[in-house]
């Protein structure tokens, strides 16, 4: 299963994380973002509105993305973060690294 | 799981295309027109199974088969001969060189598919058993064989690795001045790979701790060094880990800790339990991350409870997870129990209405007696 990606600008995309990002589909997520990174995308808006599960493997795949694009001034931002995802983000203190926006639209505006 | 791959070696173009098309529905298929081409292909990748014609120009099937026999990694790949020569001498020659199966042309594709299935199944089961064995071995090495024994303290530990588990780790060491360093962490990922990374990571943490103790006993300083290693060392590049380090002084009854994004410990007190709140960013994400030491007293009849995310993420019938709040409650209730860890875990299972945990489980209980 692949992830829906919506192109915002040449360098910014919105990825719909869907219901779960965990050990079952983390590799799919990696290949999804990798093709966009290879095409020059530097900013990723992750839409967590429907996400019920984010486990440590899933979070690890987001970290891999961040490690790749942050040296080139890229950003990973979280939009419409559901409660289960918020718990993981709080626990790992990753809100210090990933900016959060109340909605995908707000994130699009900020990254235009 | 990724599709398994098959290398088809066949000089007849029509038959090669047909096999590529039919097998391609179930497997990744690569093709070669003769033995030489097949060996070239296998420089770059290792198929899970080979189907080869016998009569081919340049290098025939037998020559390919013998060439593979001299390579211990390629010799074990299941090998099926497609042959028009169904006579006994050919079969005998095949058996001598270690061929797994013969299919005589013209062949029925369903029959071929079922034989491929059977051969690959064997490899898969073998691989699975091997993974489980290595996984168990790593799991054992990631956990201590015994616990510290300190007068005036009750210490309990439990861990159970799960098939679907990952890289939980736990370690303790006694320093020259009689303090204890306790390490609990979780390397991100699942399965044998995560356990392998956790094992390398733990060795590094141990080494760094020993080197550092000569000049500093600050948990935050150790986290800083380990984080820098994860950022700079290419081997560990894809490793992210939560890590909680505790420096426990049993004479003064103090705890100094630093926490890199690990599940926050619980302090169980006679009048209730509370979270040990401070924590900093997880390891491996950002260069130059700052970590902070925090010190607190362990009052009489209080217990410090360390654990990993498997406990917190245990699912309740409501669909929610047990969560930090749930862990606080079961820890508070376990304080008067003689076997507090067991009672906590039983309470977690009762709440989740499950017979077992869905992930690795680890809990450490350090109680100062009244």
A60-88 residue pLDDT tens: 999 999 999 998 999 999 999 999 899 88
Q: Is residue B262 a contact partner of residue B284, using CB atoms and an 8 Å limit?
A: no
- Please give the Cα distance from B327 to B312 (Å, whole number): 7
Residue B2's pLDDT band, with cuts at 50, 70 and 90, is low
Tokens at B262, concatenated:
């690990």
Q: Where are the beta strands (DSSP E) in B175-293?
A: 180-190, 241-249, 254-260, 266-269, 272-275
A33-72 burial string, b = 16+ CB within 10 Å, else e? beebbeeebbbbbbbbeebebbbbbbbbbbbbbbbebbee
SS3 label, residue B339: coil
Q: Is residue A74 part of a domain?
A: yes
Summarised one tens digit per residue, pLDDT across range B58-82 is: 888 888 988 888 888 888 888 888 8
- Confidence (pLDDT) at B98: 65
- Please give the Cα distance from B189 to B241 (Å, whole number): 9
B281 interfaces chain A, CB cutoff of 8 Å: yes
Residue B90's pLDDT band, with cuts at 50, 70 and 90, is low
Summarised one tens digit per residue, pLDDT across range B212-226 is: 988 899 999 999 999
Summarised one tens digit per residue, pLDDT across range B157-183 is: 999 888 766 788 999 999 989 999 999
- Confidence (pLDDT) at B56: 87
Mean pLDDT for all residues in chain A: 92
- Partnered with residue A2 across adjacent β-strands are none
SS3 label, residue B267: strand
Q: Could you tell me which chain B residue has the CA closest to the CA of A26?
A: B189
- Confidence (pLDDT) at B370: 86
Give the closest-approach CA distance of A6 to chain B in angstroms: 26
Q: A97: which chain B residues are within 8 Å (Cβ-Cβ)?
A: 281, 285-286
Q: Is residue A89 part of a domain?
A: yes
- Confidence (pLDDT) at B87: 54
- Confidence (pLDDT) at B139: 80
- Confidence (pLDDT) at B234: 75
- Confidence (pLDDT) at B95: 61
Residue B277's pLDDT band, with cuts at 50, 70 and 90, is very high
| Residue B93 clears pLDDT 90, i.e. is over it | no
- Confidence (pLDDT) at B92: 64
Tokens at B160, concatenated:
């159970």
Cβ separation B281–A94 shorter than 8 A? yes
| Residue A104 clears pLDDT 90, i.e. is over it | yes
- Confidence (pLDDT) at B262: 95
A14 interfaces chain B, CB cutoff of 8 Å: no
- Please give the Cα distance from B160 to B256 (Å, whole number): 27
- Confidence (pLDDT) at B81: 87
Give the closest-approach CA distance of A91 to chain B in angstroms: 6
Q: A52: which chain B residues are within 8 Å (Cβ-Cβ)?
A: 319
| Residue B201 clears pLDDT 80, i.e. is over it | yes
- Please give the Cα distance from B362 to B156 (Å, whole number): 11
Summarised one tens digit per residue, pLDDT across range A10-60 is: 899 999 999 999 888 998 999 999 999 999 999 999 999 999 989 888 999
Give the closest-approach CA distance of B30 to chain A in angstroms: 22
Mean pLDDT for all residues in chain B: 89
Pairing mode, if any, of strands A75-79 and B79-83? unpaired
Q: Which of A23, A63, A84 has its CB closest to that of B240? A: A63
Q: B319: which chain A residues are within 8 Å (Cβ-Cβ)?
A: 52
| Residue B1 clears pLDDT 60, i.e. is over it | no
Q: A23: which chain B residues are within 8 Å (Cβ-Cβ)?
A: 164, 166, 189-191
Question: Which domains, from first to last, does chain B contain?
Answer: 5-135 (3.40.50.2300), 142-368 (3.60.40.10)
Summarised one tens digit per residue, pLDDT across range B332-355 is: 999 989 999 999 999 999 999 888
Highest mean pLDDT among B48-52, B311-315, B363-367: B363-367
Higher pLDDT pick, B349 / B143: B349
Q: Is residue A64 part of a domain?
A: yes
Q: Is residue A112 part of a domain?
A: no
Q: Is residue B156 a contact partner of residue B187, using CB atoms and an 8 Å limit?
A: no
Give the residue-averaged pLDDT of B8-34: 92
Q: Could you tell me which chain A residue has the CA closest to the CA of B189?
A: A57
- Confidence (pLDDT) at B164: 65
In terms of Cβ atoms closer than 10 Å to its own Cβ (0-12, 13-18, 19+), residue B252 is exposed
Summarised one tens digit per residue, pLDDT across range B284-317 is: 999 999 999 999 999 999 999 999 999 998 999 9
Domains held by chain A: number: 1
- Confidence (pLDDT) at B264: 96
| Residue A100 clears pLDDT 90, i.e. is over it | yes
| Residue B89 clears pLDDT 80, i.e. is over it | no
Higher pLDDT pick, B236 / B26: B26
Tokens at B25, concatenated:
């529905």
**Three state DSSP letters for A36-95:** HHHCCCCEEEEECCCCCEECHHHHHHHHHHHHHHHHHCCEEEEECCCHHHHHHHHHHCHH
Q: What's the domain range around A58?
A: 4-107
Residue A48: CATH number of its domain? 3.30.750.24
- Confidence (pLDDT) at B136: 80
Q: Is residue A67 part of a domain?
A: yes
């Amino acid at each position: 299963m692949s992830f829906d990606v919506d192109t915002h600008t040449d360098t910014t995309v919105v990825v719909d994380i869907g219901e779960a990002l965990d050990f079952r589909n983390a590799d799919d997520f990696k290949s999804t973002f990798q093709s966009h990174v290879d095409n020059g995308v530097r900013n990723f808006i992750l839409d967590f509105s429907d996400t019920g599960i984010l486990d440590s493997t899933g979070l690890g795949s987001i970290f891999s993305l961040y490690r790749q694009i942050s040296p080139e001034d890229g950003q990973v931002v979280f939009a419409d973060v559901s409660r289960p995802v918020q718990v993981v983000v709080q626990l790992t203190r990753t809100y210090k690294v990933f900016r959060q926006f109340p909605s995908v639209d707000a994130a699009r505006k900020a990254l235009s | 799981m990724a599709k398994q791959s098959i290398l088809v070696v066949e000089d007849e173009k029509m038959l090669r295309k047909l096999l590529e098309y039919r097998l391609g529905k179930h497997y990744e298929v690569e093709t070669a027109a003769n033995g030489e081409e097949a060996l070239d292909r296998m420089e770059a990748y290792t198929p899970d199974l080979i189907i080869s014609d016998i009569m081919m120009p340049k290098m025939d099937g037998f020559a390919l088969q013998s060439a593979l026999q001299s390579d211990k990694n390629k010799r074990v790949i299941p090998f099926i001969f497609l042959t028009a020569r169904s006579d006994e001498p050919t079969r005998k020659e095949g058996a001598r060189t270690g061929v797994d199966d013969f299919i005589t042309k013209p062949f029925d594709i369903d029959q071929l598919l079922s034989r491929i299935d059977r051969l690959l199944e064997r490899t898969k089961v073998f691989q699975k058993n091997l993974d489980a064995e290595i996984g168990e071995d790593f799991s054992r090495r990631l956990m201590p064989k015994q616990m510290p024994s300190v007068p005036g303290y009750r210490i309990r530990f439990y861990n159970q690795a799960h098939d679907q588990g990952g890289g939980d780790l736990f370690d303790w060491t006694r320093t020259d001045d009689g303090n204890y360093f306790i390490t609990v962490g979780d390397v991100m990922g699942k399965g044998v790979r995560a356990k392998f990374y956790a094992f390398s990571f733990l060795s590094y943490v141990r080494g760094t701790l020993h080197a550092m103790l000569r000049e500093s006993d600050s948990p935050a300083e150790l986290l800083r060094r380990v984080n820098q290693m994860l950022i700079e060392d290419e081997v560990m590049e894809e490793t992210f880990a939560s890590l909680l380090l505790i420096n426990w002084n049993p004479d003064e009854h103090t705890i100094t800790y630093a926490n890199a994004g690990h599940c926050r410990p619980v302090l169980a007190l006679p009048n209730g339990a509370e979270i040990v709140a401070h924590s900093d960013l997880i390891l491996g994400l950002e260069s130059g991350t700052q970590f902070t030491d925090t010190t607190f007293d362990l009052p009489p009849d209080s217990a410090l409870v360390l654990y990993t995310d498997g406990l917190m993420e245990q699912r309740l019938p409501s669909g929610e997870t047990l969560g930090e709040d749930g862990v606080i409650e079961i820890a508070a209730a376990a304080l008067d129990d003689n076997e507090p860890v067991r009672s906590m875990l039983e309470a977690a299972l009762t709440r989740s209405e499950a017979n077992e945990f869905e992930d690795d489980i680890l809990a450490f209980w350090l109680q100062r007696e009244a």
